[in-house]
Amino acid sequence: MQVLRLTFRMNRFEIVAVGALGALIVVGGVLVMWRLGAVGISSTCLPSLETGELASGCDALYREFQEIAGRYGQLVLLIGAFLPIVGGLLIGGPPISREIERGTARLAWSLSPSRLRWYAHRVLPMIAFLVVVAFAVGVVLDRLLGAISVGEDLSASFTSFRMRGILVATQAAVIAASGIALGAILGRSVPTFLLSLILSTLLIYGGVANVHRNILLGEADRQVCCETYEPGQLYLDTRIQLPDGRLVSYEELPSLDAEIGQLAFEGQLPQVSLVIPGSRYRELETREAVAHTAIVVVLLVLAAVVVDRRRPA
Amino acid sequence: MGAVLEARGFGKRYRRRTWALRGVDLAVPEGSITALVGPNGSGKSTLIRSWIGFETPTEGSLVTGGIDPRRDRMGAVHRVGYVPQTPSLYPELTVSDHTELAVSLRRGFDEGLARHYVERLGIPLAARAAELSGGEQAQVGLALALGTRARILLLDEPLASLDPLARREFLRVLIDAVRSDGSTALLSSHVITDIEQACDRLIVLGKGHTLLDLSIADAIGHHRVVDAGEPPGNDGVVASFPSPEGETLTLVRTGASDGARPGRPASLEEVVIGHMAAARRREQHRPDGAAA
C-alpha cells in the first residue's frame, strides 16, 4: 500500500487525468445505454436493410433513438477511441523518463541496491492501473456499441474491431510499455512522448495488425465479390480468381500472362472477397490480445535491462 | 587501519575522447573523514560515482568496502550512503514520504534514524520537497544517506548550495554520525574552511591525477608559505600563486621538523591552492597541452 500511495503521489497528474478520462467514458457510456434502453427500440423498428424504409409507427421512436445513439453514443465512442493513446502516453511516458531526467532516479538508485525493485515499484502499479481503466472502458464501449447496433450479436461480429473489449486495454498497455522502454533508453520526457506514439503505432498497426492480416489471408473464406456482404464479417481483400483457381491481387496482374491480364481487365474473371466470418471474432480478438501482451512483456523486460545497465543522469 | 575505498590505476574516458581521470591511485582509510578537493573538471564526481557503480572504469580498478563495484554494483550500493551534488528529491513528495520511499527501496533502512536527523536539522517532515530550499534538500539527502546505516558515506559537493550556518549544521551532523559508529566518509568540496573543520585527511585531484594525499595535520605541517620578498630556497618549491592582496606567495614543501626554513606555516587553503597552481603550470608546459 505504501508503494501504491507513493507512486500515486509521484504521478498524481497522470493518474488523475487518465482516471478522469476513463470515468468520463464509463459514466457517459452507461448514461447513453440507459437512455437508449429507455427508448426501447426493437429490431423491427429499424430501417429495412433492403429498402431502407421504416415500419409504420416507428418514426418518432427511431428519431429519438438516432438522436441519442448518433449524437451522444458516437461522442462516447469517439472519446473512447482516444483512451488507449492518451492513457498509454500519459501512464507510460513519464514514470521512467522523468525520473532519469530530473535526477530522482539517481537518488533512488543510490538507496536501492536493486534497481529492478525500483523499476517494479514505478512501473507495475501504473501499468495495472491503466489496464484496469482501459479494460473498464473497453467493456463499456462494447456494451454501448451493442446497445447502438440493435439486433447485432457483437460477440460474433467484427464491427468496430480493435475499438472495444479487451483490445482497448492491451493496445493501451502496448503504448504505455513503448513509453516506458523509450523512457528508459532516452531518459528525456518530450522525446519519449513523441517517439512512443510513433513506435506504438508501428507496433500495433504496422506490426501486429499487419502480421495478423497476412496470417488471416491464408485462413479467410472466399466469397463471390460484392454480392453477399454481411456486416459482422472482417473484410480483408478482394482478389481475382484465375481459371486454374489461384487468387491473385490486382498488383500481381501485370506480371501475369497478357491474355489472362486482358480477361481480368475485361471483367471476365470472377472477383473474390477474402473475409473472416464474424463467428471467429472472439478467437481473433484473443489472438491479438495475446500478441499485444507479448509485446508489452518484451518492452518491459527491455526497459528493465536498460534501467539496470544505464548511467544515471 | 585498512582502506575501504581504493582506486588502482583508475581511469575514466567519456565517449572515447576525453579522459576525466587517468592513472589515479589512492586509498581512503577506514574510519576517516577524507576531503576530496580539486578544480572543476578534475574528476571528483566521476570518481565518487564510480565507487557507487554509477560509472564504469575505462581502465584500472576500484574497491568499495572490499568489493569491485563494476562486478557487484548491488553490493557497492549496499555498502554506500550517497549524497549527490544536486539533491534531486521528488518535488511532489514530503520529507516523510522520502523516508518511507527509502524503506520501500532498501531493506534495513533505518527510518527512525533518518527522521531523527531531519528533525535535528529543523526540517518539517510534512514539508513537500518542492517547498524546501536547496540547502534543506541537501540536508534531507544527508539524512537519507545516514538512514542507510552504510559504513561508507560518499558526499559529492553537498555543501555547494548551503549557507554558512546550514553548512556548519550539515557538517556537525556528518561528523557526529561518522564518529559515533566509526564509518568512513569521503567529502568532495571546494570550501576549504569546512574541510579543515570536518576532515582528517585530504586528497587533492588535479586534471585527472592525485596531486596530494595526506592527513590534514601533515598537509599543514609539511608546507610553508614564503612571501614575495623572501627567497624560497631551491628545495621543495611547489608553486607560486597570488595572495588575495595580489602578492605572489610561494608554497614550499618541508620535512616535519624543518622549522628553520624561511616563511610562515601554510594554511590548508594555501596548501591546496599551491598544489593546484603547480598542476596547472605542469599542464601548461606539457608539449601537447592535453590532459594525460
**What does the block give as the cell for B132?**
524546501
Q: What pLDDT digit, counting tens, does each position of B74-101 carry?
A: 999 999 999 988 888 999 999 999 999 9
pTM, 2 dp:
0.86
Q: Contact B105/A111, CB-based, under 8 Å?
A: yes
B134 burial via Cβ count (<10 Å: 0-12, 13-18, 19+): middle
How many Å lie between the alpha carbon of A23 and the closest alpha carbon of chain B? Answer: 24
Picking from A10, A112, A311, the nearest residue to B90 by CB comes out as A10
Q: Which chain B residues touch A312 with a CB distance below 8 Å?
A: 54
A118 vs B contacts (CB less than 8 Å): 105
Q: Does B90 touch chain A (CB under 8 A)?
A: yes
How many Å separate Cα B281 from the centre of its chain?
Answer: 23
A102 vs B: CB within 8 A? yes
Asked if the model's pLDDT at residue B1 lies above 70, the reply is no
Name which of B84-88, B101-105, B198-202 the model is least confident about.
B84-88
Measure the CA–CA gap between A187 and A94, rounded to whole angstroms.
10
- Among the partner-chain residues A6, A10, A112, the one whose CB lies closest to the CB of B106 is A112
Mean pLDDT on B194-204: 88
* Cβ within 8 Å, pair A6-B84: no
Nearest to A106 among B88, B104, B105 (CB): B88
A interface test, pick of B104, B109, B152 with most A CB neighbours within 10 Å: B104
pLDDT-based confidence at residue B286 (cuts at 50, 70, 90): low
d(CA B65, CA B84): 19
A271 — phi, psi (to 5°)? Answer: -100, 140
Question: Which band of pLDDT confidence, cut at 50, 70 and 90, is reported for residue B154?
Answer: very high
Chain A hits for B89, Cβ within 8 Å: 104, 107
Distance CA B74, CA B70 (A): 10
Q: Closest Cα partner for B256 from B197, B203, B215, B208?
A: B215
pLDDT band at B190 (very low <50, low <70, confident <90, very high): confident
Non-local CB neighbours of B248 within 8 Å, separated by 6+ positions: B228, B240, B241, B242
Closest chain B residue to A104, measured at CA: B88
**What pLDDT was estimated at residue B288?**
55
Residue contacts between A and B (CB atoms, under 8 Å): 69
CB B81 within 8 A of CB B150: yes
- B41 or A109, higher pLDDT: A109
Q: A112 — contact with chain B (CB < 8 Å)?
A: yes
Residues of A in contact with B91 (CB under 8 A): 102
- Best of B105, B137, B156 to disrupt the A interface (most A CBs within 10 Å) is B105
Flag if B93 and A6 touch (Cβ within 8 Å). yes
Residue A19 sits at the chain B interface (C-beta within 8 Å): no
Nearest Cβ partner for B92 among A9, A111, A118: A9
Model confidence pLDDT, tens digit, residues A235-277 = 888 888 888 888 888 888 777 777 777 777 777 888 888 889 9
Q: What is the mean pLDDT of chain B?
A: 87
B55 close to A (CB below 8 A):
yes
3-class SS letters over B52-94: CCCCCCCEEEEEECCECCCCCHHHHHHHEEEECCCCCCCCCCE
What is the rounded distance in angstroms from the CA atom of residue B139 to the CA atom of residue B142?
5
Determine whether the interchain pair A107/B52 forms a contact, defined as Cβ–Cβ distance below 8 Å.
no
For the four alpha carbons of A293, A299, A302 and A303, in that order, the dihedral sign comes to negative
Nearest CA in chain A to B87: A107
Give the model's pLDDT for residue A60.
Answer: 86
- Cβ-based contacts of A12 with chain B (< 8 Å): 92
Q: Looking at the predicted complex, does its ipTM rise above 0.90?
A: no
Which residues are CB-contacts of B52 (< 8 A; sequence separation ≥ 6)? A110, B64, B69, B76, B77, B80, B82, B154
Query: Which of B92, B97, B148 faces A111 most closely, judged by CB atoms?
Result: B148
- How far, CA to CA in Å, does B279 sit from each of A185, B44, B204, B253, B265? 39, 15, 10, 15, 21
User: B14 at the A interface (CB within 8 A)?
Assistant: no
Question: Which cell goes with A306?
Answer: 536498460
Q: How far is CA A271 from CA A86, A216, A255, in A?
A: 41, 18, 18
Pairwise CA distance, residues A237 & B137, whole Å: 63
What are the 10-residue block averages of pLDDT along chain A, 313 residues in total?
91 96 97 92 78 80 90 95 94 93 93 93 96 98 93 88 93 95 95 90 83 86 74 86 83 77 79 89 93 95 95 83
Mean pLDDT of B204-217: 85
> Residue B141: what pLDDT?
93
**pLDDT per residue as tens digits for the range B13-33:** 887 677 888 888 999 999 999
d(C-alpha B143, C-alpha B114), whole Å: 5
Q: Which of A111, A122, A307, A310 to mutate to test the interface with B (most CBs of B within 10 A)?
A: A111
Interface check for B137 against chain A (CB to CB < 8 A): the answer is no
Partner-chain residue, chosen from A3, A104, A121, that has the shortest CB–CB distance to B90: A104
* pLDDT score at B135: 86
**Does A109 lie at the interface with B, CB-CB under 8 angstroms?**
yes
With CB atoms and an 8 Å threshold, state whether A311 touches B100. Answer: no
Beta-carbon contacts of B39 under 8 Å, excluding residues fewer than 6 positions away, are: B206, B207, B276
| Closest alpha carbon to A175 in A68, A89, A295, A303 | A89
Is B77 within 8 Å of A110 when comparing Cβ atoms? Answer: yes
Res B291: pLDDT: 43
What SS3 state is found at B289?
coil
The residues in A 277-296 lying below 8 A from B, measured between CB atoms, are none
* Per-residue pLDDT at B111 exceeds 60: yes
Range of lowest pLDDT (B130-134, B139-143, B232-236):
B232-236
Per-residue pLDDT band at B292 (split at 50, 70, 90): very low
* CA–CA–CA angle B251, B256, B262 (5° rounding): 45
Chain A residues touching B82 at Cβ < 8 A = 110
The whole-number pLDDT of residue B18 equals 79
Q: How would residue B2 be classed by pLDDT, with cut points 50, 70 and 90?
A: confident
pLDDT of residue B167: 86
Q: Which three cell numbers stand for residue B48?
A: 565518487
Which of B92, B139, B144 has the most A C-beta neighbours within 10 Å, making it the best mutation to test the interface with A?
B92
3-state SS, chain A, equals CHHHHHHHHHCHHHHHHHHHHHHHHHHHHHHHHHHHHHHCCCHHHCCCCCCCCCCCCCHHHHHHHHHHHHHHHHHHHHHHHHHHHHHHHHHHCHHHHHHHHHCHHHHHHHHCCCHHHHHHHHHHHHHHHHHHHHHHHHHHHHHHHHHHCCCCCHHHCCCCCCCCCHHHHHHHHHHHHHHHHHHHHHCCHHHHHHHHHHHHHHHHHHHHHHHHHHHHHCCCEEEECCCCCCCCCEEEEEEEECCCCCEECHHHHHHCCHHHHHHHHCCCCCEEEEEECHHHHHHHHHHHHHHHHHHHHHHHHHHHHHHHHCCCC
Q: Indicate the residue of A6, A104, A121 with minimum beta-carbon distance to B97.
A: A6
Record: contact A6-B148, CB cut-off 8 A: no
Which residues of chain A have a CB within 8 Å of the CB of B144? Answer: 107, 111
CA–CA distance, A122 with A95 (Å, rounded to integer): 6
In this complex, is the C-beta atom of A310 within 8 Å of any C-beta atom belonging to chain B?
A: no
Q: Is A44 exposed, middle or buried (0-12, 13-18, 19+ CB in 10 A)?
A: exposed
